[in-house]
């Protein structure tokens, strides 16, 4: 399934997570399995979080960019509309291209 995910864009052009395991750098075009990184102050959700459209009004996009991604083995999770509506929690992701 195709959906969208925001990533932090670093000065060197690499991309990484916004909040959890922030030091990791993710490759484009390679399938990546979700891993568990319990982080103080955040709910435990050991999956990739994606949305059906590149919209999440609750997030600042400063230093961040939306990417089109392909996900596998996912479930949907209903969030408030101001948080992007339906999220998909995926076990596998492939980052395809910036939006």
76-97 pLDDT per residue, tens: 989 888 887 899 999 999 999 9
Q: What percent of the chain has pLDDT over 90?
A: 76
Enter the pTM of the model: 0.91
So what's the pLDDT on residue 42?
A: 87
Distances (CA, A) of 48 to 11, 12, 31, 36, 37: 23, 23, 12, 10, 11
pLDDT tens for 43-64 read 887 899 999 999 888 899 999 9
Tokens read off for 8: 């932090």
pLDDT tens for 1-54 read 999 999 999 999 999 999 999 899 999 999 999 999 999 998 887 899 999 999
């Amino acid at each position: 399934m195709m959906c969208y995910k925001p990533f932090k864009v670093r000065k060197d052009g690499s991309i990484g997570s916004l909040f959890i395991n922030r030091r990791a750098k993710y490759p484009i075009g390679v399938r990546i399995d979700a891993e568990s990184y319990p982080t103080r102050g955040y709910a435990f959700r050991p999956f990739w979080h994606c949305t059906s459209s590149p919209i999440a009004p609750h997030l600042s996009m400063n230093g961040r960019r939306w990417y089109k991604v392909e996900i596998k083995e996912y479930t949907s999770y209903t969030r408030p509309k101001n948080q992007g509506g339906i999220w998909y929690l995926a076990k596998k992701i492939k980052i395809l291209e910036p939006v």
